[in-house]
Amino acid sequence: MPFFEFIKQNWSEILALTREHIFLVFISTAFAVLIGVPLGVLLTRKKSLQTPILGFANIMQTIPSLALFGLLVPISFIGIGAKAAIIALSLYALLPIIRNTVTGILSVDKKIKEAATAMGMTDWQILKMVELPLAAPVILTGIRVAVVISVGVATIAAAVGAGGLGTYIFRGLRQNDNNLLLAGAIFSAVLALLADFALGQIAKLYEPQRAEDKSLHKRRKFIAIGATALIAVIVGYSFISSFQNPFANQTNAQNKIRVSSKDFTESVILAEILAQMLEKKGIMVERKLELGGNLAHEALLSNQADVYPEYTGTAYTAILKKTPITDTQQVYDETKKEYAEKFDLTISEPLGFSNDFAILIRNDEAKKNNLKTISDFVPLAKNKQAGFGQDFMSRADGYEGFKNAYGFDFAKQPREMDLALTYRALKSGELDIIAGNSTDGLIDALDLFQLKDDKKYFPPYQAVFIARNDKSKILQEIFQTLNNSISTEEMRKMNYEVDGKNRQPKDVASDWLVRKGF
């Protein structure tokens, strides 16, 4: 689909995401200003505090954004969603605002401060009438930097379910869809430029002006007021719409099921299947989809969500931290038992398919060299470039064990990169071997070939739902229905509908439900 056609078709969603983005950036910048400016003023009065406070703000900014989001989510009163994003964004915005407030005030001409004191101004009057107005252009520059950083970092907020334009970027990466990627990137870039321009105009208002500039001054004032009004309307609207829903839902919140998912297509489709089945039974559903890393698990533990799709192998190795084993039934049984004891969580019956690690190469290369199993590939490895997702590189059943089990000897260190990008890089020939997921729709879409795990290295990854015990009663019936109902073939097809044909997960899920007659 051409880009402009895509924009036209998805215009209302793009607007909604842009609005969410502005909301996140505005609220967090407002917090950062309310905290940062007074703190900066304090630092100019008590210089001994400068090192610890600026040090703290500095450290905040060096924490990678996804890590900071991840750290905030398990805190129960924060959880997933806009709250975590706003707190993280505010922390990021603090440094430039505090630092520029300090610099701005300290760089006010000493003669002018002396004059102010000598005129008999009180400390408060000096601050209000002399220091802050004269430091305003520098402080506003700090706010400008903070806003531009926030617009960028806010794209990561999609990983904790806070929405915004990052939703398109993550989805685009996952589904290998350039339109989504471009739309997310372009709109956030435009947002950053517009904010930068408007704040620049406001900053200029504070520069001492000459008489002949007065018409320009008026125009700036107009732009500044216009931009502020526009943002106020957008933020106000977001506020109202974010408050309306909880009120409407309050009466049956008790029976409401909060369905969550991880941030990849398959997880979203499974969550949609469950959500739609619940809705057909007349149960209220709240979707908290596309959470990054292990955030969905954290969301269950902190009572932010009730249920999400998971894989037994992941639960066993990544969450329970057990050494990988290959017996499917043993993994399922032990995981179920330990989840009940450790986390008070229920594990559903297996959904039928497994999403194991799939070692993938290009189909034409498999044919040319008659490659069938991973062992077949080992002798060729010397002049091949491997690339794996971060997950595969770090997990217990990942790269290290895999290399040793098969005796791989790659000439070059494998590239560690985003999983979705390894598919693209394999297709384009920059990588020769990757570790994908066996149900991934892209395997067919990109004409890739899965090498057989002939040494049975990879543990089983049966798909299941994990639910909070207090909601398992409502869910039990559906879990029974879904028991062993989705084959690997079906799952791969559904994934391809989304990743290869750019259909919506919710439509694909409902098609499947209709086909199955559920």
Partner 1 sequence: MKEMPKKIVEFRNVNFSVGNTKILEDINLQIFSGEILVLLGESGCGKTTTLKLINRLIEPTSGEVLVEEKSTMDWDPIKLRRKIGYVLQEGGLFPHFTVEKNVALVPDLENWEKEKTREKVAELLDLVGLNHQKFSDRFPNELSGGQRQRVGVARALAANPDLLLLDEPFGALDAITRTNLQKEFARLVKDLGKTAVFVTHDLHEAFILATRICLMDKGKIALVETPENFRKSDLPLVREYLETISVNKVES
Q: Specify the residue, 131 or 298, whose C-beta has the smaller distance to partner 1.
A: 131
CA 160 to CA 374: how far, in whole Å? 36
User: In 250-347, which ranges are continuous DSSP H helix?
Assistant: 265-280, 295-301, 312-314, 328-342
Q: Angle 50-62/11-45 helices, nearest 10 degrees? A: 160
Nearest-approach distance from CB 113 to partner 1, in angstroms: 9
Q: Specify the residue, 203 or 300, whose C-beta has the smaller distance to partner 1.
A: 203
Sheet bearing 257-262, strands edge to edge: 285-291, 257-262, 307-311, 463-468, 345-347
Which tokens go with 94? Answer: 């603090």
Nearest-approach distance from CB 129 to partner 1, in angstroms: 8
CA distances in angstroms from 78 to 119, 307, 328, 458, listed in the order given: 49, 19, 37, 36
CA 211 to CA 200: how far, in whole Å? 20
Nearest-approach distance from CB 36 to partner 1, in angstroms: 22
Count residues contacting partner 1 (CB under 8 A)?
21
> Binding to partner 1 (CB under 8 A): which residues in 192-231?
206, 208-211
Q: Specify the residue, 121 or 396, whose C-beta has the smaller distance to partner 1.
A: 121
Q: Specify the residue, 118 or 240, whose C-beta has the smaller distance to partner 1.
A: 118
Binding mask 98-117 for partner 1 (x = CB under 8 A): -------------xx-xxxx
If phi > 0 it is left, if psi is from -120 to 50 it is alpha, else beta; for residue 3 that is: alpha
Which tokens go with 230? Answer: 């526009």
Nearest-approach distance from CB 109 to partner 1, in angstroms: 8
Count the helices and strands in the chain (H runs, E runs).
24, 10
Unique residue bearing structure tokens 């004409």: 447
Nearest-approach distance from CB 126 to partner 1, in angstroms: 11
Q: Specify the residue, 122 or 390, whose C-beta has the smaller distance to partner 1.
A: 122
How far does Cα 58 stand from its chain's mean position? 23
Q: Specify the residue, 135 or 315, whose C-beta has the smaller distance to partner 1.
A: 135
Residues 6+ apart with CB under 8 A from 181: 168, 169, 172, 173
Q: Specify the residue, 56 or 206, whose C-beta has the smaller distance to partner 1.
A: 206
User: In 165-259, which ranges are continuous DSSP H helix?
Assistant: 166-175, 178-205, 214-249
> Binding to partner 1 (CB under 8 A): which residues in 119-178?
119-122, 125, 129-130, 133-134
Nearest-approach distance from CB 118 to partner 1, in angstroms: 4
Q: Specify the residue, 135 or 299, whose C-beta has the smaller distance to partner 1.
A: 135
Which tokens go with 164? Answer: 């915004």
Nearest-approach distance from CB 29 to partner 1, in angstroms: 25
> Binding to partner 1 (CB under 8 A): which residues in 293-332?
none
For partner 1, the binding residue among 4, 62, 118, 321 (CB under 8 A) is: 118
Nearest-approach distance from CB 82 to partner 1, in angstroms: 38
> Binding to partner 1 (CB under 8 A): which residues in 482-501?
none
Q: Specify the residue, 210 or 321, whose C-beta has the smaller distance to partner 1.
A: 210
How far does Cα 306 stand from its chain's mean position? 20
Which tokens go with 445? Answer: 């879409």
Nearest-approach distance from CB 215 to partner 1, in angstroms: 15
Q: Specify the residue, 116 or 198, whose C-beta has the smaller distance to partner 1.
A: 116
Residues 6+ apart with CB under 8 A from 495: 265, 266, 269, 439, 440, 441, 442
Nearest-approach distance from CB 38 to partner 1, in angstroms: 21
The contact set with partner 1 (CB under 8 A) reads 111-112, 114-122, 125, 129-130, 133-134, 206, 208-211
